[in-house]
Amino acid sequence: MAEPCSEPCSGLLPTQASQLPFLLLRLFQLCLNVARFQKMAPSPITCHVLNTLSGTPASELEAVLTLLSSNPALDEAAQGAIDFHAVTDQDGRVKEWKAKTDLSVEDVMSKFSLGDRMVWSIRFSVGTWYEARNVESFFPEVEVKFYVNNEARHYHVPVLVGPWTYTTYRGS
């Protein structure tokens, strides 16, 4: 049976022991990179809105993501509707949602069991968005309701909007 080491790094060769501070620094840097990547990873629910009138991204369009399914663990934590707000970027995309509470979309989804189906809604304020561009719109809002399975990794909801029409599909 081997004896336990009494000296730190006693099992290393002298050249390996001298590289230990460098290796620890490199490991720390790799951990920081992983943490940065995780912060940059998009929400499990994203969307992309295109304006069919001009054929361009619908930038600066207000959107609200709402959980419509109930969950006792969330009802207590959220104390009401669970809404997340965003404004589409220059490319017409929402990659991250802001909440009024400390809960993130990931936090909300983690309260459900694996395999649970949740109903979500994204509401786009297209009426005021088109009015700001001096275009009359038939729709004050466009709402897309959809299921999310807690086992899936990501849901992307593309929406094509016009002043008199809209369409959507399950993106990837």
Selected from 3.30.300.30, 2.60.40.180, 3.40.640.10, 1.10.1240.10, the CATH number assigned to the domain covering 44-168 reads: 2.60.40.180
Instruction: State the chain's mean pLDDT as an integer.
Output: 82
For the chain, the domains span 13-42, 44-168
Which pTM was predicted? 0.73
The 3-class SS string of the chain reads CCCCCCCCCCCCCHHHHHHHHHHHHHHHHHHHHHHHHHHHCCCCEEEEEEECCCCEECCCCEEEEEECCCCHHHHHHHCCCEEEEEECCCCCEECCCEECCCCCHHHHHHCCCCCCEEEEEEEECHHHHHHCCCCCCCCCCEEEEEEEECCCCCEEEEEEECCCCEEECCCC
pLDDT surpassing 90 at residue 143: yes
Q: What is the pLDDT of residue 18?
A: 67
Tell me the per-residue pLDDT of 10-57, one tens digit each, with 9 for 90 and over.
565 566 556 656 555 555 555 444 443 444 567 999 999 999 999 999
